[in-house]
Structure 1
Amino acid sequence: MAWAAANSDWMVSSYTISSIRPAPRPEQPSRADRGARAVSPCPLYPFRMERQTASAGAQQQSARDTGASPLMITVSGCRGVVGGSLTPETICRYVGAFSAWLEEQKAPGDGPVVVGRDGRRGGDVIADIAMSALRASGRRVIDLGIAMTATTGLMVRRHNGAGGLVVTASHNPAEWNGLKPLTADGRAPDASQAERIVTLFHEGRRVLAPHDALGARDGDDTGHHAHVAAVLEAIDRVVNIDQIKRRGVRVALDSLNCSGAVGGMLLLDALGCELIHVNRDSSGDFPHPPEPIEEHLKDLCMLVKESFCDIGFAQDPDADRLVIVDEKGTYIGEEYTLALGAEALLGAGGFGSAATLAANLSTSRMIDDVAKKHRARVVRTPVGEANVVSAMVREGCALGGEGNGGVVWPEIVHIRDSLSAIALTLALMTRENASLSELVGRTPAYAIDKRKVAIREGLADKASAAIRQRWSKARIDTQDGVRIDLDDEGAWLHVRASNTEPILRLIAEAPTKQRAAALLDEAQSVIEGA
């Protein structure tokens, strides 16, 4: 089915491989005919590296306040500061490790690597280096240009790719950039796969092809349209698209001048929305700090209110997160994105037996309330998109995500996707014939509080044991630190060690701010007394 946008000269249509425009190149032998390629260690490059994972805040402080320039090689990929730790040598070294990992996977043998970038400044240079390194390994490359992480994942599958690379630093500050690997399934590697890539990086492994077997580089600019077409096809099974069009929703969208701008415009136009689109030029110039939190989105809140919009949406640079502003100009909080998406999908029915959802241990219990309403169940996972997605694949989940505004709708792609979240939210408003503030008012409200507690090195396990002992009669989950569920009062506490600092991260949720703060106070007292 094709969806034409009103008042536009484009059409979102079903994706066809013939729409690729390959660059001219000589005929090349297949990989099977090329013979074995060299898999070898590469020399160590002179760079400063930190292997641990760091939060965006810790990274920003390290890079700016202390003048340091850390390189983060983690299960999430590679990140560093452009002009500092993220050097051309580092990029080639990481891509070499990724290529060696692809060689180990041996599937699909002749598949290309699909490359997209989030649009931030300097990303084109990093993408060029990465694609050259991939071609040197004998891999054909499909260059999407500026593309959402979810779009890149979807196109990996459409091209029957061996994997993908996204040039992005997610919501990190503008001076940061990095590489995020994707599997042949178009999703983030699971924990064991990601650890293997990290190991290959530290071993200096790489793959080198002979001169007559270097990979080609082709361009494909159909990714935005293919992604939007997939979302439209899926959302039409939730609520008839014509109903959304008739509602004529007035939407303000802040795309941060990055990868979500084109897809967001195409989707909202196809859904018949009246769009006020700010920060949409794909220049990569951030008009405000890129993390989509309340203090960074005051202009959007004002725009929604003053322009009489029905809703406002904000994306981060690679558009894998979505936060929402209601018609009153109120930032409703990241946690609502997943809860509203789940309500939209589960309320449409059609799941036969009870549906299953997935969310990490630090995600609001709003998702549990939505699931209970529809007789669904929630699978909890350790923090991290890859952990959520692994559970979704294992359990056959209808939807999943995290409390940071990330929604994973497997009908589209197993990656957090702001376009899926936009469509589900608008579908819910249409089906319920309700404003966003009314929908929020129908959802049980909770207060979340967070804190960091310093501990001496090596005492995290002892502190966690003390937490378990204090709440021994509660429901306890130890997948990722320790989570205590106090079901009788609708509250929970999650305590987990930082990977980068000698601290414990505490997060509590309760029906009131006072109770959430009291839980943190008590947990901190237990930890300090351990």
Structure 2
Amino acid sequence: MINKSQKSTRLFGTNGIRGIPNMDLTPEFCSRVGKAIGTVFKTRDIAMGKDTRVSGEMIWSAVESGILSTGVNVTDLGILPTPALQYYCKVHSVYGVIITASHNPPKFNGIKCIDKDGTELQREREEEIEFIVEQGEFMKADVKNMGQRTFYPLAVNDYIEGIKKIITPENVKKAEFRVAIDTGNGAAFRSSPELLTELNCKVVTLNANPDGNFTSRNSEPKPENLGDLIALMKTGKFDLGVAHDGDADRCVFVDENGNFIDGDRSLALIVKYFTSRGSKVVTPVSSSDVIEDVCNKNGAVLVKTRVGAPIVSRTMIKEKALVGGEENGGIIYGRHQYCRDGAMAMALVLDLMAREKKKISALLSDLPAYAMYKTSTELTEDWNQVRKRIIDRAGAEEIDFTDGLKLYLREGWVLARPSGTEPIMRIFAQSKTVEKARELAEFIIKIASP
């Protein structure tokens, strides 16, 4: 363990080390990270995977070289979704490294570490890696004990089979759903269409080719980036539209009429139909009140956390929660694994539609309606100064300090929090209408300005 009094430069953000290849993520730096990973994990084998980004091979090679130099073997899983690598780590009880920048533009890439239970690495272990990177005290294997690379080409197949064990495939197969899926040229280009085919769905794919430049659309699955999928769904020929981000740990849906479904509502749908009295649900304070309303109706216990998938996952494990997730389409289903999993979320929704024999729009129709607005603004001052100004001037009826400031105002609430990866303040607002939520967000941004 590192000496806690010796603080190193922070490298890991909310979801791994992110940066621009050959600027931030140079071969030399990535090799040091690889050597630090091998030194800290002190294990026989580490599994590695990557998404489709064009810089992935360079970064992979540098990280792998560093790991091998410490005498640790690497199991090459190839291109696959992050949750597929996490499933492999969980089943085989090995550490993992995934080369991905998730939904970020193609000029970025990243290095994310996975624990032996398939969850994202705890912050304390990331600090150990950061310390070793800075100090340069790496393990060095002699020639006879250098790490070796082996290939395992069946990780995606194992992952698909693991998902099928959680749902009732026979029900989904009988329904013969028509599904349009946009994998965004990312890591799920093979896995999600293959899972749908094995579930006897009639599948039309969009952007289901590996293109690390994300030529067809931005990898963030927001409505403004999903015009082709939404237009296809408006033809009325499909039961469900599905879209992933770059590494497919998230999944968003479009209903049979071409309406985009907010991530809060898809999470609330899973909570409604897959929990019962006494079940525990975990979500960040940024999620809308629809999840709390559904929990109250089901008699489920809602636990709120700071923003961040690793925080939600760890809290789910601690609380033995069944369902968790974020408002961005990141759904975690505890019976499968404690991480965001886009394909698992897709399978759960299809299973639900088959079981209830209803369209997704009908399943969503009786959920409470809240309007959310999300934005961000540049943070040019110390957060503590901005925080004090907001507290003094916002006139909040109540303030939740779980993560940043969640201000309960007369016409809704606003969450303002500093980003963990950029010099910006992120804003989440909820009200009765999108227009009013936007007004609340702009009100907080205005009083936060110097």
Normalization by structure 1: what TM-score?
0.78
Task: Please name the residue that 1:321 is paired with.
Answer: 250
Task: Please name the residue that 1:57 is paired with.
Answer: none
Q: What is the aligned counterpart of 2:117 among 185, 201, 209?
A: 185
Work out whether 1:85 is the aligned partner of 2:24. Answer: yes
Worse overlay, 289-298 or 94-103: 94-103
Work out whether 1:505 is the aligned partner of 2:426. Answer: yes
Work out whether 1:432 is the aligned partner of 2:378. Answer: no
Distance 1:455 1:125 in 2: 33
Counterpart contact for 1:256–1:285, Cα < 8 Å: no
Work out whether 1:390 is the aligned partner of 2:303. Answer: no
RMSD across aligned positions (CA): 2.5
Work out whether 1:418 is the aligned partner of 2:339. Answer: no
Change (3 A) 1:301 1:100: same
Counterpart contact for 2:400–2:407, Cα < 8 Å: yes
**1:136-165 per-position Cα deviation (integer Å, ceiling 9, x unaligned):** 11111111001111111111122221x100
Instruction: Provide structure 1 residue ranges, at least 5 long, that are not aligned to the other structure.
Output: 1-38, 40-49, 53-71, 104-108
**1:447-502 per-position Cα deviation (integer Å, ceiling 9, x unaligned):** 112344556523x324434544655642x32121111346x96x322111234666
Task: Please name the residue that 1:296 is paired with.
Answer: 225
Counterpart contact for 1:118–1:147, Cα < 8 Å: yes
Task: Please name the residue that 1:11 is paired with.
Answer: none
What is the SS of the residue equivalent to 1:206?
A: coil
Counterpart contact for 2:35–2:69, Cα < 8 Å: no
Change (3 A) 1:501 1:246: closer
State how 1:57-456 maps to structure 2 within 5 Å: 73-74=12-13, 76-103=15-42, 109-110=43-44, 112-161=45-94, 163-236=95-168, 241-286=169-214, 287-306=216-235, 308-346=237-275, 349=276, 354-453=278-377
Distance 2:259 2:112 in 1: 33
Counterpart contact for 2:251–2:329, Cα < 8 Å: yes
Distance 2:326 2:290 in 1: 12
AA paired with 2:444?
Answer: A
- Paired positions, count: 442
**1:7-46 per-position Cα deviation (integer Å, ceiling 9, x unaligned):** xxxxxxxxxxxxxxxxxxxxxxxxxxxxxxxx9xxxxxxx
Counterpart contact for 1:313–1:325, Cα < 8 Å: yes
| Superposition deviation, residue 219 in structure 1 | 0.9
Counterpart contact for 2:233–2:258, Cα < 8 Å: yes
Change (3 A) 1:201 1:330: same
| Superposition deviation, residue 128 in structure 1 | 2.7
What is the SS of the residue equivalent to 1:115?
A: strand
Distance 1:378 1:271 in 2: 32
Counterpart contact for 1:340–1:428, Cα < 8 Å: no
Which structure has the larger Rg over C-alpha atoms?
1
Counterpart contact for 2:221–2:243, Cα < 8 Å: yes
Counterpart contact for 2:83–2:249, Cα < 8 Å: yes
Counterpart contact for 1:301–1:330, Cα < 8 Å: yes
Task: Please name the residue that 1:44 is paired with.
Answer: none
State how 1:458-473 maps to structure 2 within 5 Å: 458=382, 460-468=383-391, 470=394, 473=397
**1:329-371 per-position Cα deviation (integer Å, ceiling 9, x unaligned):** 222233333222223322xx5xxx5011111121222221221
Counterpart contact for 1:344–1:424, Cα < 8 Å: no
What is the SS of the residue equivalent to 2:365?
A: helix
Worse overlay, 287-296 or 255-264: 255-264
AA paired with 1:316?
Answer: D
Worse overlay, 402-411 or 512-521: 512-521
Distance 2:87 2:190 in 1: 16
What is the SS of the residue equivalent to 1:442?
A: coil
Counterpart contact for 1:51–1:73, Cα < 8 Å: no
Identity %: 31
